[in-house]
Amino acid sequence: MQGDLPGAPGDSCPAVSHPLLKRQLDSSTVIEDQSRADERSVRTAPSRQDIERDFEKLIEQRKLFGAELNPTIIKKSGKGTRFLISAVPSRAKLLKRWAILFRNAISPCALFEALSARTHEFEHRENLLLFGKDRVIYDTQILQGEESIGELTLSFASLADPMLGVLAYLKGARLRIVYIEHIHLTTQRSGYASTLFRYYERLFRDLGFNQFRLSAALSVGKYYWAQEGFDFSDKSEIGRRKGDLRALIKERSLPVREVEIGRLNHAYDFARFKRDLRIFAYRNAEGFYSLKRDEHFREEVSLPLGKAFLLSSAKWEGYKTIYTNTPRRTGFVTSSEYLLHRTRAGHPENPGRLRTLLRAVRKHGLRSSLVFLEPYLPDLEFLEGIHEAEYLARFRESVRSGAKEYSTRDCSICPASFEIALLAAGGVMAGVDAVLNGRVDNVFCAVRPPGHHAGRGSTMGFCFINNIAVGAIYARTVYGVERIFILDWDVHHGNGTQEIFEEDPMTYYCSIHEHPTFCFPGTGRRMERGTGAGTGATLNLPLKPHAGDEELMETFEKEVVPAIERFEPGLIMVSAGFDAHSWDPIADLDLTEKSFAYMTRRICELADRLCGGRIVSVLEGGYDGSSLASSAMVHLKMLQGRSQECSLERG
């Protein structure tokens, strides 16, 4: 295709004219200089005249054409997107397509230079921008010196977001997608693809594209793309992959428990699964893998279970969220199954709380800017390291027997309560996974029932399993996070969390709550500072009834901030109850959304400085629907790094 085109006359595109991407393109557009270039500031977007001039330059250089997608035309060696070069569209169509896809945030020459950035000793030649009816295509040969070692095709499109609906699409709310249509290298090239696409991820994030999408077809790609954070586009694929993995485990009698398979909810999880358990796979002459030896797949290779499984699996369509229209990428863990924990009529902790919160997420337009994550059921044996086994057994038996409450009248239950309480803890574990493996910067776990009153062997205050304690111990056990700071700003003292960690010097528990003389559960006095080795790792900050925003913020700044700075955590976790709001019916503090915005902003600043921004926030209380929704929205927006203050809003 491209080889038949005559050489481009005149000079190549000039140095980048659009300063938005100066930090990607300076230093001769060599990717190794990214860290130095990233320090440069963002300036103004190009004018319409700049964009038109760049179109003319690219057309003159024979680097810009039209393209017709045509299934009868096979590109190059029969791989990748099928298209046929056609005449250049009208200038009006070029401008319209550019505005839709790139929102005029960058000029065409600047984009061309950015896409062509030299990576190590590799460079792009014979590269083109092609304008189709509904997308723009970038197509190039990849050379190492004078040797052609591969080819790459990307396309850019704008699609309706099914989460937002047709009306939002007509109003301009669209997902902008970068399709990795085709990448082919003749041999493995010392991390070229990884370096290039991490650079592209920064580039397209700055341009506001929402997702990468691809087909993970090549053998190595099935594993590589999962390692890079791509997930299955078709969520039903996860169930099919789990079924195939179960069959492999049974066939080879591998020591893997069902609960471990149950935690697999992302392609990344499969890639990293059971890295300490190696199995044999078989490779053919072309570098493809199979789990069965035959006349083609002869070379025996020992690989970790997850890697062997993915390398040998069928191809899959994948996507990766690269931009969420916010400075920080915030995860959001929830599930409709949390609504199945039904409490008796009139109970404050009821499914309506979560429904109200989820409606607010839609109303505030956050569905397109949050990374939605699925919870999973945790291993009961793991939970028995946090709660007494007998306690969990009694809880399960109470549910199975049809009891209406467990242990106390506060703790109303139904036939689904045991499993949903486990799923709430698993939701926090899923949030920890996402933060600590880098899929998101921070996360809010919208789970129920809440957990901070649940002790090792006791339930109270609507809580059965201590969700945040489960998450903290999981982060330490699985990811090796040593120092964890738990901040609890629920209006009620988190007596269960304090009990679980009171002897642990590596987990700092800090609670701001209404004074225990006036408020449930009657614990959380300043004199309670931990016990044994954990003495000094507990900080209780009781506030008098009707304390407001100013008193809260003064206490936070004088006591919480220094405590976090001294402790230097590797992870900050938040028991985020919103029942200290003045509208909440079951306590007597008089906070507004201002306090929750302030506390969230400050912990984000501290996390950025101390622990790479890693925050796992977990829903606890909040029993007035309006204030729960408005406070949680402020919290989410501050986690995302939005600068604007969020107004008080009922409904």
- pLDDT at position 628 is 98
The CA–CA distances, whole Å, from 428 to 460, 489, 563, 577 equal 20, 17, 24, 15
Strands 507-514 and 538-543: parallel
**555 backbone dihedrals φ, ψ, rounded to 5°:** -65, -45
Contact 595, 549 (CB under 8 A): yes
Domain tally, the chain: 3
Domain-located, residue 513: yes
Residue whose structure tokens are 């049974």: 250
Q: Encode pLDDT of 405-461 as tens digits.
A: 999 999 999 999 999 999 999 999 999 999 998 889 999 999 999 999 999 999 999
* DSSP-based three-state secondary structure for 363: helix
Q: Encode pLDDT of 201-226 as tens digits.
A: 889 988 989 889 988 776 677 888 88
* DSSP-based three-state secondary structure for 177: strand
- pLDDT at position 189 is 61
State both tokens at 227.
């390692």
Range name among 103-107, 343-347, 436-440 with the lowest pLDDT average: 436-440
Collect all residues with Cβ–Cβ distance below 8 Å to 391 and sequence separation of at least 6: 456, 457, 458, 459
- pLDDT at position 23 is 37
Range name among 190-194, 300-304, 316-320, 551-555 with the lowest pLDDT average: 190-194
Give the rounded distance of the alpha carbon of 618 from its chain centre.
15
Q: What is the mean pLDDT of the chain?
A: 87
Residues 270 and 364: their CA atoms lie apart, in Å, by 34
Contact 496, 463 (CB under 8 A): yes
Domain-located, residue 324: no
For the chain, give the number of residues.
651
Residues 602 and 574: their CA atoms lie apart, in Å, by 12
Higher pLDDT, 174 or 280: 280
Domain-located, residue 432: yes
* Rounded average pLDDT over 324-331: 86
* Rounded average pLDDT over 314-341: 90
Q: In this structure, are 139 and 188 located in the same domain?
A: yes
State both tokens at 301.
């290779």
Q: In this structure, are 257 and 187 located in the same domain?
A: no
Domain-located, residue 307: yes
HSE value, Cβ hemisphere, 13 Å, CA-based, for 232: 21
- pLDDT at position 526 is 97
Q: Quote the Cα angle for 317-318-319, to 5°.
A: 145
- pLDDT at position 518 is 95
Collect all residues with Cβ–Cβ distance below 8 Å to 191 and sequence separation of at least 6: none
Q: In this structure, are 240 and 369 located in the same domain?
A: no
Query: Which of the listed residues 298, 314, 330 is the one where a domain comes to its end?
Result: 314
CATH number of residue 585's parent domain: 3.40.800.20
Contact 417, 588 (CB under 8 A): no
* Rounded average pLDDT over 467-484: 96
Q: Provide the residue type at 182 as one letter.
A: H
Work out the percent of the chain whose per-residue pLDDT is above 70.
Answer: 87
Q: In this structure, are 471 and 594 located in the same domain?
A: yes
Q: What is the DSSP letter of 579?
A: T
State both tokens at 247.
């069959």
User: Structural domain of residue 24, as residue ranges?
Assistant: 2-209
Q: In this structure, are 192 and 286 located in the same domain?
A: no
Q: Encode pLDDT of 348-401 as tens digits.
A: 999 999 999 999 999 998 987 899 999 999 989 999 999 999 999 999 999 999
Q: In this structure, are 153 and 250 located in the same domain?
A: no
Q: In this structure, are 171 and 269 located in the same domain?
A: no
**614 backbone dihedrals φ, ψ, rounded to 5°:** -80, 115
State both tokens at 643.
């600068």
State both tokens at 565.
């700075």
Residues 195 and 212: their CA atoms lie apart, in Å, by 15
Q: Encode pLDDT of 580-601 as tens digits.
A: 999 999 999 999 999 999 999 9
Q: What is the DSSP letter of 559?
A: I
- pLDDT at position 185 is 80
Domain-located, residue 628: yes
Q: In this structure, are 455 and 575 located in the same domain?
A: yes
Quick check: 11 pLDDT over 90? no
- pLDDT at position 90 is 95
Domain-located, residue 226: no
Count H helices, E strands: the chain?
Answer: 22, 20
Q: Encode pLDDT of 625-649 as tens digits.
A: 999 999 999 999 999 998 654 444 4
Give the rounded distance of the alpha carbon of 509 from its chain centre.
26
Instruction: Provide long-range contacts, Cβ within 8 A and 24+ apart, for 89-98.
Output: 89/131, 91/52, 91/55, 93/131, 94/55, 94/131, 95/48, 95/51, 95/52, 95/55, 97/131, 97/136, 98/51, 98/136
Domain-located, residue 346: no
**315 backbone dihedrals φ, ψ, rounded to 5°:** -65, 160
Contact 376, 262 (CB under 8 A): yes
Would residue 182 show up in a list of annotated catalytic residues for this protein?
Answer: no
Residue whose structure tokens are 């998450």: 471
State both tokens at 312.
């040998």
- pLDDT at position 423 is 97
Quick check: 25 pLDDT over 50? no
Residues 580 and 596: their CA atoms lie apart, in Å, by 10
**Candidates 453, 493, 515, 635; catalytic one:** 453
State yes or no: cis peptide before 6, omega within 30 of 0: no
The CA–CA distances, whole Å, from 472 to 434, 456, 460, 530 equal 14, 14, 20, 17
Query: Which of the listed residues 173, 194, 209 is the one where a domain comes to its end?
Result: 209
Q: In this structure, are 456 and 531 located in the same domain?
A: yes
Domain-located, residue 403: no
Query: Which of the listed residues 262, 285, 314 is the one where a domain comes to its end?
Result: 314
Q: What share of the chain is helix, strand, coil (3-state, %, to 5)?
A: 40, 20, 40
pTM score over 0.95: no
Q: In this structure, are 542 and 468 located in the same domain?
A: yes
Range name among 61-65, 605-609, 613-617, 642-646 with the lowest pLDDT average: 642-646
Residues 333 and 354: their CA atoms lie apart, in Å, by 12
Residues 622 and 72: their CA atoms lie apart, in Å, by 60
Range name among 70-74, 270-274, 492-496, 574-578 with the lowest pLDDT average: 70-74
Q: In this structure, are 200 and 240 located in the same domain?
A: no
- pLDDT at position 166 is 55
Contact 103, 206 (CB under 8 A): no
Q: In this structure, are 6 and 66 located in the same domain?
A: yes
